[in-house]
Chains A and B, each alone.
Chain A
């Protein structure tokens, strides 16, 4: 961080130079062009989706029947759509990384920072925004049908889970347009991702996208477990449940145990970065093994 840089009252340290298209025009190296191209894909994709919905005249239907729906099947489908959109980005990133490695012996065409960002976003997306939404989406659709329940136990909470996960995914997409994503890998071990070693906005993108998705997925896990325990149709005893429902029950219990610590750890890292806490720093009793 440069201390003399003026700080805007609303945009903070964001400026025109945060947009990746301008550096690509000033300095058209392949690495910059790849980054700017990805940002353009996001913008054009968003415009195309908006135009398509308008052409269908489907805004009202989208809002009333889908985005505000608490129906488990629709939420499941939206989860799967989210996972597929993020999968498209994850696969493209994998292809770019492999292409870089094919030419990489003499430096390749990407800068080291760009490559680090790619493997960080690729890992984060594939774990938190492809694998998990895909499982949650399938479970949302199938599991209540299999056990004869009308809906999940907490339909509104289900909708909130989707909203949080989608917001986390949106943050990862925005990182293509504004600033950079973390270079610390999907596991983002401090102190490398701490303020001293990575003062840029990258780890913040990771923290907030993972924290939001973490809260959402924790709530999904609670929802699944409660639904399976409490909402089974008469006669559907535990040992008559299909194997898929058993799988989801086990996965839900893992979600309930694994994601709150991850979310809290991400927020502790946020406290380190913004509030001068020392959970994971090198000095003042911080301990990266915490």
Chain B
């Protein structure tokens, strides 16, 4: 219950309350689309009652024209209006699809932060390759810095979304997708998986923390001080299907927040290893596929993963 209440308090989870330029653009688009479609919708809501009033039974002044068939002007408005709306919206869609391409880096004055994301059943692993640290379910970054994410999973397909910062992007095993986000103000933003992946799906939430660069340096030091090394054996246990809270119980320490894990050391090639696991040209049995019911961390350790 406490977790629920704290989730309601100051964690932001809607693009209607944007924390960065992408979500702000999405909100602007939605309002713009609503405004354009109102050109077609408002006349209906206004004219239908007007017509009922005007052509009511007792109104003798309304003109009675049973043989009326066609009006060029009326047809022009009825077909031309929607045509213009569709043309305008298509142009906007085309332009903003390119402008908001998730693969395109966002210009920022601050140095960009690289994050490698591995989706696991039912938690997110965030690796900071330049800093040599990693976390589970906590994504921190400085305000104003562009965060360049590379995403993959080590289980089924997942989809990462931080509604108040950026839209969703799929992450798939053996494949790399990219997402760029940026926050304009400090805050706590809810992130989630939006692709159903089993019983722990609803618990697969994480927190995106936008902080000042001073706070970020403190946070990095905290992760390094309180974290445990992310070696192969630890990863094999981490990757087994479990929620963030369960993983915290098995691997975490009281110095780490609830449902969150800190890792103080990560191999530089860790992400590439996870990415390459499924593309070796050899079969990967269920026992070595994290998230599968037949997954066996001991077998994974034996296979030298």
- Which of B18-26, B31-39, B279-287 is found at the contact surface with chain A? B279-287
Contacts A191-B173, A282-B278, A283-B284; A197 near B156 (Cβ below 8 A): yes
**Pair A288/B172 contact, Cβ less than 8 Å:** yes
Contacts A197-B291, A197-B293; A283 near B282 (Cβ below 8 A): yes
The minimal Cβ–Cβ distance linking B246 to chain A, given in whole angstroms, is: 14
> Per-residue CB proximity of B262-298 to A under 8 Å, as 1/0?
0000000000000000110111101001011110000
Ordered by A's residue number, 11 sampled pairs between the chains whose C-beta atoms are within 8 Å are A116-B198, A192-B198, A196-B292, A197-B155, A197-B198, A197-B289, A282-B173, A283-B278, A285-B281, A288-B172, A289-B175
- Which of A30-38, A60-68, A84-92, A181-189 is found at the contact surface with chain B? A181-189
A80–B197 Cα distance when bound, in Å, is 34
The answer, yes or no, to whether B113 is at the interface (CB within 8 Å) is no
The minimal Cβ–Cβ distance linking A128 to chain B, given in whole angstroms, is: 18
Of A183, A199, A282, most buried by chain B (CB within 10 Å of CB) is A282
A280–B6 Cα distance when bound, in Å, is 40
Contacts of A195 in B (CB 8 A): 286
For the residues of B in contact with A, the DSSP-based class is loop
3 tightest A-B contacts by CB? A283-B284, A112-B199, A192-B156
Contacts of A116 in B (CB 8 A): 196, 198-199
**Pair B289/A196 contact, Cβ less than 8 Å:** yes
**Pair B292/A197 contact, Cβ less than 8 Å:** yes
Q: What's the tally of chain B residues with a CB closer than 8 Å to chain A?
A: 25
**Pair B294/A196 contact, Cβ less than 8 Å:** yes
Contacts of A183 in B (CB 8 A): 198
Contacts of B279 in A (CB 8 A): 285
**Pair B284/A191 contact, Cβ less than 8 Å:** no
**Pair B157/A283 contact, Cβ less than 8 Å:** no
Given contacts A189-B157, A197-B291, 7 further A-B contacts (CB under 8 A): A192-B198, A196-B292, A196-B294, A282-B174, A282-B278, A284-B281, A284-B284
Chain A positions within 8 Å of B, measured between CB atoms, are 105, 112-113, 116, 183-185, 189-192, 195-197, 199, 282-285, 288-289
Contacts of A192 in B (CB 8 A): 156-157, 196-198
Report how many A-B pairs have Cβ atoms within 8 Å. 57
Contacts of A184 in B (CB 8 A): 196
Contacts of A189 in B (CB 8 A): 156-157, 195
Residue of B nearest to A193 (CB): B156
The answer, yes or no, to whether B4 is at the interface (CB within 8 Å) is yes
A105–B196 Cα distance when bound, in Å, is 19
Of B4, B156, B197, most buried by chain A (CB within 10 Å of CB) is B156
The minimal Cβ–Cβ distance linking B291 to chain A, given in whole angstroms, is: 6
A113–B196 Cα distance when bound, in Å, is 12
Residue of B nearest to A200 (CB): B293
**Pair B199/A113 contact, Cβ less than 8 Å:** yes
Contacts of B289 in A (CB 8 A): 196-197, 282-283
The minimal Cβ–Cβ distance linking A203 to chain B, given in whole angstroms, is: 12
Contacts of B291 in A (CB 8 A): 197
A190–B173 Cα distance when bound, in Å, is 11
Contacts of B175 in A (CB 8 A): 289
**Pair A191/B156 contact, Cβ less than 8 Å:** yes
Contacts of B156 in A (CB 8 A): 189, 191-192, 197
Residue of A nearest to B170 (CB): A289
Contacts A113-B199, A184-B196; A105 near B157 (Cβ below 8 A): no
The minimal Cβ–Cβ distance linking B254 to chain A, given in whole angstroms, is: 26
Contacts of B157 in A (CB 8 A): 189-192, 288
A185–B157 Cα distance when bound, in Å, is 14
A260–B80 Cα distance when bound, in Å, is 36
Contacts of B173 in A (CB 8 A): 191, 282
Contacts of A289 in B (CB 8 A): 172, 175
Contacts of B293 in A (CB 8 A): 197, 199
**Pair A185/B196 contact, Cβ less than 8 Å:** yes
The minimal Cβ–Cβ distance linking A241 to chain B, given in whole angstroms, is: 20
A112–B121 Cα distance when bound, in Å, is 15
**Pair B197/A284 contact, Cβ less than 8 Å:** no
A190–B284 Cα distance when bound, in Å, is 16
**B195, B198, B286: which contacts A196 (Cβ < 8 A)?**
B286
Contacts of A283 in B (CB 8 A): 174, 278, 282-284, 289
Contacts A196-B292, A197-B292, A197-B293; A284 near B282 (Cβ below 8 A): yes
**Pair A282/B284 contact, Cβ less than 8 Å:** yes
Contacts of A199 in B (CB 8 A): 286, 293-294
Residue of A nearest to B195 (CB): A189
A196–B157 Cα distance when bound, in Å, is 13
> Per-residue CB proximity of B128-165 to A under 8 Å, as 1/0?
00000000000000000000000000011100000000
Contacts of B283 in A (CB 8 A): 283-284
**A105, A190, A288: which contacts B4 (Cβ < 8 A)?**
A105
A192–B172 Cα distance when bound, in Å, is 11
The minimal Cβ–Cβ distance linking B245 to chain A, given in whole angstroms, is: 14
A185–B291 Cα distance when bound, in Å, is 18
The minimal Cβ–Cβ distance linking B94 to chain A, given in whole angstroms, is: 23
Contacts of B4 in A (CB 8 A): 105
